[in-house]
Amino acid sequence: MSDQDTTAVREAEQLARQGSFDAALSRLEAGGDELATNQAALYIKAVCQRSQNNRSDALETLKTLLSVNPDHVRSYQEIGHIHVAAKNADKAIQGYTEAVRRDPAMLSSWRPLVTLYRMVGDAENQRMAEQRVIELEILPEPLVAVKSALNQNNLQSADQICRSFLKTNKQHVEALRLLAEIADRAKIIDDAEFILESAVTFEPEHMGAQFDLANILLKRQKFEAADKVADELGQKYPDNLEFKLLRGATKLGVGDTNGAISIYQDLVRQKHNLKNTYLLLGHAQKTAGNLPAAIAAYQNLYQLNPAYGDAFWSLANTKTYRFSEDEISQMNQYVDRNSTSEIDKVHLHFALGKAYEDGADFDEAFSHYQRGNAINHGLLKNQMPDIRKRAERQKSICSSELFMQRQDVGYPANDPIFIVGLPRAGSTLLEQILASHSQVDGTLELPNILSLARRLRGRAVPAEGEDPQYPKILTELDIEYFTRFGEQFLQDTQIYRQTAPRFIDKMPNNFLHIGLIKLILPNARIIDARRHPMACCFSGFKQLFAEGQEFTYSLSDIGTYYRTYVDLMDHWDNVLPGFILRVQHEDVVDDLEGQVRRMLDFLDLPFEKSCLEYHKTERNVRTPSSEQVRQPIFSSALEQWRNFEKHLDPLIEALGPDVMQRYPIG
């Protein structure tokens, strides 16, 4: 938008505030053509039209605005205002309800809802709206603005308002909770943990701060600490069912899967927050390997909430479930409705992709995978770091010379086995095979190496054109730090282990930090789980991840990521010869025993037949492949991508000729 148009919008807004509605509309009409689709201009125009009692024109203007941006929250509130003026209570309620659904901090919509619910005799919703008004009115006005900005995913504005408020209210616990939520949403969860620990220190009995802290500790996989906080909350407030729901999650985290299931089943009997409870119960049953019970929980969930996409996606994500015609019809019924949220649409598209793929309708399946990915790509496109820059920095700093200069540093234990690789490359299968060995514990995708890398990167944002502190700091640190970091890694990960002398860390993104791993744990072992790029990338494209892995939502992005991965792993092979064992998924399928013996030789472990019978090993598995690794190997999945080959030219182009020559399409 030009400076002239910006000025026109600003002047029109000022005129509207003064009640000069004709003048405001004239100012907008005199503006440029771009104002015809400018959100701010359309909103001002609708407000002026409603104020002049031109309600039908105002609704048409808002219709145009919502076609430009369906998430423009104030448009829904304005629809409520228009229908209040027209004395149409039902339609006014619809408008305001949609506004508060999208922004629960919109006090100016909750207030009229109280009156409207009273008018129509809806006592239950009236009480709910009154409670929301009370909750928002007791908050300082700046914090209501922070909540609103968060609800509309404007993290920068939320952060600025919140920090400004905290300058003069340094120990305000509600402000600290909001600042922690901002940090969490920005994926700086170590900051969120620190902020919430401070809040609990300031007000030790503040149940909200304790609740938030337990949830952040869960995200950081500090399960025992989270379980302790959740237990304390449960002891203090035994009738609070949300705290029981939290305790179920922390019990699952510490490995007490049956305890978690028992809590969720009890909450289902009490009909508490069934949307969350059924979903968590299903996930817990799936983790425990009780697939029929998991399926029943997910089915109960979609019967309760017919448009709830995660119920259908969770069924699809078992990998073995087959949808009925009625279920496919229900998903199609809701996936294109305006009332269905964007997140629900994403889940429904991915589930429909799986349903149509199972029915061999590959074109329709690809259409749904593509549509779901497109929505997600739009929602998450600003959250994806530049993998190529990060890889190039690792290559420039972590050279042969660095490892020669620092060849005697680090903690000498050989306990850790790191399995790295792209999502859907077969790393869960390798973990299950190795965790079936008597001397190896399977754990989780541990966050410790990534957290250490963030610490080394520092909190300061580098100036434009400057590289971040990490990995350059690896050339500058005193050598005793590397020993300390390695020892700390073993101490911090002890909680995830059982009694075996070796253990697996399956965090796939550790491939970026193999240089750091070598410097702090020189006797660790790295296994590179590799799969043919077409199979790996397309499998990632049709997988909806709970969080992270933003690069998988575009064929071009995932192809670029794979190519960068291959290039960086080649670098590690060159500068750290013998430190990494590459295991090709297709080779494991073709010759399981040969590849098992090869891995065990690399790890200096004796052969055990249990590794060949990995599918009989009973352990909790929390990845999308959980059901697949509980079955013997089948080769049917290797070539599934060929059913979609005619749609995959953008992927081939992004992978580039070097990668495709290495992995030719036969």
Answer whether residue 633 shows pLDDT above 60: no
**pLDDT score recorded for residue 382:** 61
* CB distance 553 to 594 below 8 Å: no
- By DSSP bridging, strand 580-584 and strand 416-421 are unpaired
Q: What is the pLDDT of residues 541-582, one digit of tens each?
A: 999 987 778 889 999 999 999 999 999 999 999 999 999 999
Mean pLDDT of 206-223: 93
**pLDDT score recorded for residue 478:** 95
**pLDDT score recorded for residue 462:** 60
Distance, CA of 490 to CA of 448 (rounded, Å): 10
Percent of the chain surpassing pLDDT 90:
77
Answer whether residue 232 shows pLDDT above 90: yes
Distance, CA of 647 to CA of 663 (rounded, Å): 19
Give the side-chain half-sphere CA count within 13 A for 539.
Answer: 20
**pLDDT score recorded for residue 630:** 43
* CB distance 231 to 219 below 8 Å: no
**pLDDT score recorded for residue 632:** 53
Q: What is the pLDDT of residues 326-335, one digit of tens each?
A: 999 999 999 9
Residues with Cβ within 8 Å of residue 171, at least 6 apart in sequence? 202
Structure tokens of 536? Answer: 């790996």
Lowest mean pLDDT among 104-118, 302-316, 637-651: 637-651
Distance, CA of 85 to CA of 23 (rounded, Å): 22
Q: Which long-range contacts (CB under 8 A, 24 or more apart) does 90-96 make?
A: 90/120, 92/116, 93/117, 93/120
Q: What is the pLDDT of residues 32-62, one digit of tens each?
A: 777 788 899 999 999 999 999 999 999 999 9
Tell the residue number behind the tokens 């968590």, with chain if given. Answer: 280
Confidence of residue 625 (pLDDT cuts 50, 70, 90): very low
Alpha helices in 501-554 (DSSP H): 514-520, 533-541
Strands of 416-421's sheet in order across: 440-442, 502-505, 416-421, 525-530, 580-584
Phi, psi of 422 (to 5 degrees): -75, 155
Q: For the chain, what is the largest distance between any 2 Cα atoms, rounded to a whole number of angstroms?
A: 86
Distance, CA of 473 to CA of 478 (rounded, Å): 10
**pLDDT score recorded for residue 270:** 94
**pLDDT score recorded for residue 413:** 96
Alpha-carbon distances, residue 186 vs 41, 284, 443, 538, 548 (angstroms): 30, 27, 26, 28, 12
Report CA dihedral (240, 245, 246, 249) to the nearest 10 degrees: 160
Distance, CA of 644 to CA of 360 (rounded, Å): 11
**pLDDT score recorded for residue 116:** 96
**pLDDT score recorded for residue 479:** 93
Q: What is the pLDDT of residues 441-457, one digit of tens each?
A: 999 889 899 989 988 98
Distance, CA of 502 to CA of 72 (rounded, Å): 53
Alpha-carbon distances, residue 252 vs 176, 259, 280, 443 (angstroms): 28, 8, 10, 13
**pLDDT score recorded for residue 547:** 76
Q: Which amino acid is at 364?
A: E
Confidence of residue 69 (pLDDT cuts 50, 70, 90): confident
**pLDDT score recorded for residue 187:** 79
Mean pLDDT of 652-661: 94
Q: Which long-range contacts (CB under 8 A, 24 or more apart) does 152-155 make?
A: 152/71, 152/73, 152/102, 152/103, 153/185, 155/182, 155/185, 155/186
Percent helix, strand, coil in the chain, to 5, is 70, 5, 30
Tell the residue number behind the tokens 């995200």, with chain if given. Answer: 219
Answer whether residue 366 shows pLDDT above 80: yes
DSSP symbol at 580: E
How high is the mean pLDDT of the chain?
91
Distance, CA of 631 to CA of 622 (rounded, Å): 15
* CB distance 247 to 277 below 8 Å: no
Lowest mean pLDDT among 152-166, 388-402, 464-478, 584-598: 464-478
Confidence of residue 342 (pLDDT cuts 50, 70, 90): confident
pTM value is: 0.79
Mean pLDDT of 532-544: 94
Q: What is the pLDDT of residues 166-180, one digit of tens each?
A: 999 999 999 999 999
Alpha-carbon distances, residue 351 vs 25, 216, 273, 454, 643 (angstroms): 46, 29, 24, 35, 18
Distance, CA of 234 to CA of 211 (rounded, Å): 10
Which of the two residues, 617 and 143, has the higher pLDDT score?
143
Tell the residue number behind the tokens 């690896």, with chain if given. Answer: 474
* CB distance 573 to 580 below 8 Å: yes
Phi, psi of 78 (to 5 degrees): -65, -35
Which conformational region is residue 254 in: left (phi greater than 0), alpha (psi within -120 to 50 degrees), or beta?
A: alpha
Structure tokens of 482? Answer: 């590397």
Confidence of residue 626 (pLDDT cuts 50, 70, 90): very low
Mean pLDDT of 310-335: 95
* CB distance 433 to 614 below 8 Å: yes
- From the number of C-beta atoms within 10 Å of its C-beta (0-12, 13-18, 19+), residue 500 rates as middle
Closest CA to 46 of 6, 76, 70, 87: 76
Distance, CA of 195 to CA of 193 (rounded, Å): 6
Closest CA to 351 of 490, 527, 543: 543
Distance, CA of 625 to CA of 631 (rounded, Å): 10
Answer whether residue 107 shows pLDDT above 70: yes
Give the side-chain half-sphere CA count within 13 A for 355.
Answer: 21
Q: What is the pLDDT of residues 381-416, one digit of tens each?
A: 666 678 999 999 999 999 999 999 999 899 999 999
